[in-house]
Amino acid sequence: MASPTEGRRRSDAARSGRTRERILQAAVDSLIEDGYAATSIGAIQSRSGVSRGALLHQYPNKAHLLVDAVRHLSDQQVDEVLAYSEPAAAEDWMTVLWHSFATPLFGAVLELWVAARTDADLRGALLRHQRDLHGSIRESITRNLEGPLPENFDSVFEMTLTYFRGLALTTILSTNHRDRLLDDWRATMRSVFSSP
Structure confidence at residue 2 (pLDDT): 56
**pTM given for the model:** 0.75
Is residue 30 scored above 90 in pLDDT? Answer: yes
How confident is the model over 118-173, as pLDDT tens digits? 988 888 888 888 888 888 888 877 877 777 777 888 888 899 999 999 999 888 88
Q: Region 19-43: what's the mean pLDDT?
A: 92
Q: Are 72 and 24 in contact (CB under 8 A)?
A: yes
Q: How far is residue 174 from each of residues 107, 113, 155, 167, 171, measured CA to CA in Å?
A: 15, 21, 28, 10, 5
Structure confidence at residue 88 (pLDDT): 47
